[in-house]
């Protein structure tokens, strides 16, 4: 029986979080929190400020979900209460599930409740995520229809941490429930499945656990890259996938690597992963990062935040390039720092937040000459040829256009200055920048190349 002691429950969650978070992050965001009480299946947790509540709910949902699952508390809801706010304000609004038609059984859903913002309509699509999003939307739109020549079962989505794989996966589950109320949908993280399986093995009874997952209509299997070290877990997951595929049940899988690069996984399991459609997600480009920030500011959690100036959004988008989570985290940190000082968000606050987070001076400029030299090296052309050779050959023209684009993107160099470096008219530079942007939208491989170069320089 689960403890009703709020302190004991919070200690279990804290222990799980301490194993996942860097020590500095744990001290900054988790250590100041205190348990208040347990009510109606929810643990009320006091946080020191509105900004801290915003950070925890926006940046740590997956970490909290893992800590709850690993502590055997997957069904425990968390309510974050701001210190000094009257308790009456903490009343949760009634949960709204999908509308269920008369005579249809309510759906079985096991989404972590902190994933409430993960929906497809809140996913910002960029050149690096077009295929993955299109596939996610197609899984939802085609559910229950006649089979098509293109199989999307399983749908395997891969990419680096914090790029939106879990967001898309959960968005698919929610979209399917809207389309077909009554579906049995389960979200399952591999590490949590491993912990559950370990308990079942100790009890010498794994069959009920296997059947529990085989009876679902939709399986959302997260983070399969960890399977390589789990022999028995691989076996159990193989049997579950085999059963679901044979019965036409939808499977969505995420990983930080494509199926063929999953080290330690059995070949038969990799074969199942590759049966359907594989789609990757790449880091967002600058325009997409700006769009993500503006979309984020539309969230209800940000309604009372003072307007964020455009130069602040541009600064954040330039500095946080690695992942969507980094981007959103930097935005939240700027808001948090501004609230502590008691002033509206500004470029000065953003600079201070960046210095505090990275230890780097935010305003150290990147000299265009460095951009040009790294571009020449990447494309394997000489620096002199890149800058001075008059040629329309693609081997020279494309690197030169990319160098112009990056000088504009990273150093914010005026078109006239860039043109002077290449001994060209500024209108030629403008056309080159537009050409690179257009090709990045059309050509995923070119987009990856330019984005990787941008990230390595900036």
Neighbours of 114 (CB within 10 A): 20
Q: What token pair was written down for 164? A: 């939106």
Mean pLDDT over 382-386 rounds to 88
- Residue scoring higher pLDDT (201 or 359): 201
Indicate if the pLDDT at residue 209 is higher than 60: yes
365: Cα separation from own chain's centroid: 29
pLDDT number for residue 90: 33
Which element (helix H / strand E) includes 377?
Answer: helix 368-378
> Closest by alpha carbon to 285, among 130, 119, 80?
130
pLDDT number for residue 120: 92
Mean pLDDT over 427-450 rounds to 88
User: What separation, in Å, do the N-terminal and C-terminal C-alpha atoms of the chain show?
Assistant: 53
Q: What token pair was written down for 196? A: 């559950």
Sheet holding 34-39, edge to edge: 34-39, 42-47, 77-82
57 — phi, psi (to 5°)?
-75, -30
For 56, 157, 183, 351, the CA distances from 109, given in Å and listed in that order, are: 23, 21, 8, 43
Spell out the long-range contacts of 357-366 with Cβ–Cβ below 8 A and sequence spacing 24 or more.
Answer: 357/330, 357/333, 362/315, 362/319, 365/411, 366/410, 366/411, 366/457, 366/458
pLDDT number for residue 388: 82
Given a contact cutoff of 8 angstroms between Cβ atoms, the answer to whether 376 and 401 are in contact is: no
Indicate if the pLDDT at residue 210 is higher than 70: yes
> Closest by alpha carbon to 113, among 53, 65, 80, 44?
65
103 confidence band (pLDDT: 50, 70, 90)? very low
Indicate if the pLDDT at residue 403 is higher than 90: yes
Q: Mean pLDDT, the chain, as a whole number?
A: 83
Q: What token pair was written down for 177? A: 């429930």
Q: Which of 23-32, 233-242, 283-292, 363-372 has the lowest mean pLDDT?
A: 363-372
Spell out the long-range contacts of 261-266 with Cβ–Cβ below 8 A and sequence spacing 24 or more.
Answer: 262/224, 262/225, 262/227, 262/228, 263/228, 264/227, 264/228, 264/229, 265/224, 265/227, 265/228, 265/234, 266/234, 266/238
pLDDT number for residue 153: 87
Q: In this predicted model, what pLDDT tens digit does every residue of 243-280 receive, in sequence order? A: 998 888 999 999 988 998 888 888 988 998 988 899 99
Q: In this predicted model, what pLDDT tens digit does every residue of 34-82 receive, in sequence order? A: 998 888 888 999 988 877 888 888 788 888 888 888 888 877 888 888 8
Domains of the chain (ranges; CATH) run 6-90 (3.30.300.180), 108-281 (3.40.50.300), 286-358 (1.10.8.60), 368-457 (1.10.1750.10)
Beta pairing, strands 42-47 & 34-39 = antiparallel
140 confidence band (pLDDT: 50, 70, 90)? very high
341: Cα separation from own chain's centroid: 29
Spell out the long-range contacts of 292-297 with Cβ–Cβ below 8 A and sequence spacing 24 or more.
Answer: 292/124, 292/324, 292/327, 292/328, 293/317, 293/327, 293/328, 293/331, 295/122, 295/124, 296/328, 296/331, 297/331
Mean pLDDT over 82-89 rounds to 56
Indicate if the pLDDT at residue 446 is higher than 90: no
Mean pLDDT over 134-149 rounds to 81
Spell out the long-range contacts of 377-380 with Cβ–Cβ below 8 A and sequence spacing 24 or more.
Answer: 378/449, 378/453
Which residue has tokens 């990787």?
452
Q: Where are the alpha helices (DSSP H) in 45-189?
A: 50-59, 61-70, 130-141, 165-179
pLDDT number for residue 106: 41
Q: Where are the alpha helices (DSSP H) in 215-309?
A: 231-246, 267-273, 286-296
Mean pLDDT over 102-106 rounds to 41
> Closest by alpha carbon to 174, among 224, 122, 125, 223?
122
Mean pLDDT over 328-348 rounds to 86
pLDDT number for residue 142: 86
Mean pLDDT over 367-390 rounds to 86
Instruction: Compute the distance between CA of residue 282 and CA of residue 322 in angstroms, rounded to an integer.
Output: 10
Indicate if the pLDDT at residue 402 is higher than 90: yes
Indicate if the pLDDT at residue 359 is higher than 70: no
Instruction: Compute the distance between CA of residue 32 and CA of residue 356 in angstroms, rounded to an integer.
Output: 19
Which residue has tokens 């600079």?
351
Adjacent-strand bridge partners of 221? 188, 253
Q: What token pair was written down for 145? A: 């229809």
């Amino acid at each position: 029986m689960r403890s009703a002691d709020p302190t004991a429950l919070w200690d279990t969650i804290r222990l799980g979080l301490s194993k996942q978070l860097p020590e500095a992050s744990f001290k900054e965001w988790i250590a100041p929190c205190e348990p208040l009480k347990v009510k109606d299946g929810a643990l009320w947790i006091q946080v020191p400020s509105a900004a801290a509540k915003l950070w925890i709910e926006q940046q740590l949902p997956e970490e909290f979900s893992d800590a709850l699952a690993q502590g055997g508390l997957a069904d425990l809801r968390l309510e974050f209460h701001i210190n000094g706010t009257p308790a009456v304000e903490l009343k949760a609004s009634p949960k709204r599930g999908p509308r269920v038609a008369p005579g249809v059984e309510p759906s079985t859903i096991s989404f972590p409740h902190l994933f409430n913002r993960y929906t497809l309509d809140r996913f910002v699509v960029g050149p690096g995520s077009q295929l993955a999003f299109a596939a996610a939307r197609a899984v939802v739109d085609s559910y229950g229809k006649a089979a098509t020549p293109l199989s999307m079962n399983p749908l395997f989505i891969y990419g680096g941490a914090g790029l939106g794989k879990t967001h898309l996966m959960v968005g698919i589950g929610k979209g399917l429930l809207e389309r077909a109320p009554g579906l049995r949908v389960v979200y399952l993280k591999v590490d949590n499945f491993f912990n559950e399986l370990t308990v079942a093995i100790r009890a010498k009874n794994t069959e009920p656990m296997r059947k529990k997952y085989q009876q679902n209509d939709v399986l959302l299997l997260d983070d399969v890259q960890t399977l390589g070290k789990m022999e028995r877990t691989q076996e159990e997951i193989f049997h579950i996938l085999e059963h679901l595929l044979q019965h036409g049940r939808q499977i969505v899988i995420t990983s930080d690597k494509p199926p063929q690069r999953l080290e330690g996984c059995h070949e038969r399991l990799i074969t199942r992963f590759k049966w359907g459609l594989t789609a990757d997600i790449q880091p967002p480009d600058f325009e997409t990062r700006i769009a993500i920030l503006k979309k984020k500011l539309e969230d209800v959690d940000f309604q009372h935040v003072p307007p964020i100036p455009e130069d602040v959004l541009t600064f954040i988008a330039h500095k946080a390039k690695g992942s969507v989570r980094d981007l959103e985290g930097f935005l939240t940190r700027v808001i948090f720092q501004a609230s502590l000082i008691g002033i509206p968000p500004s470029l000065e606050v953003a600079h201070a937040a960046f210095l505090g987070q990275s230890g780097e001076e935010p305003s150290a400029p990147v000299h265009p000459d460095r951009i040009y030299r790294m571009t020449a090296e990447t494309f394997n052309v000489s620096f002199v040829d890149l800058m001075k050779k008059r040629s329309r050959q693609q081997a020279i023209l494309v690197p030169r256009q990319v160098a112009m684009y990056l000088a504009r993107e990273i150093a914010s160099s005026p078109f006239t200055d860039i043109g002077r470096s290449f001994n060209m008219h500024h209108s030629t530079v403008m056309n080159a920048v537009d050409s690179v942007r257009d090709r990045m939208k059309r050509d995923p491989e070119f987009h990856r190349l330019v984005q990787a170069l941008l990230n390595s320089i900036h």
